[in-house]
Amino acid sequence: MSEEKPLFFFPPGSVEEKFVRSGGHGGQNVNKVATAVQLRFSPGLSGLDPEAQERLRALAGSRLTDSGDVLITASEHRTQEQNRQAARARLRELIAAALRRPARRRPTRPSRSSRQRRLDEKKRRSDIKRTRRGGE
pLDDT score of 19: 81
Between the alpha carbon of residue 32 and those of residues 26, 80, 111, the distances in Å are 10, 13, 69
Q: Which CATH class is domain 15-99?
A: alpha beta
Tens of pLDDT, residue by residue, the chain (136 residues): 445 455 566 667 778 887 877 766 666 666 677 778 888 888 878 778 888 888 888 888 888 888 888 888 888 887 888 888 999 899 889 888 888 888 899 999 999 999 999 999 999 999 999 999 876 5
Provide the pLDDT for residue 1: 45
Please give the Cα distance from 115 to 93 (Å, whole number). 43
Q: Is 20 helix (H, G, I), strand (E, B) or coil?
A: strand
What whole-number distance in Å separates Cα of residue 94 and Cα of residue 52? 11
Please tell me the distance from the alpha carbon of residue 24 to that of residue 33, in angstroms, as a whole number: 12
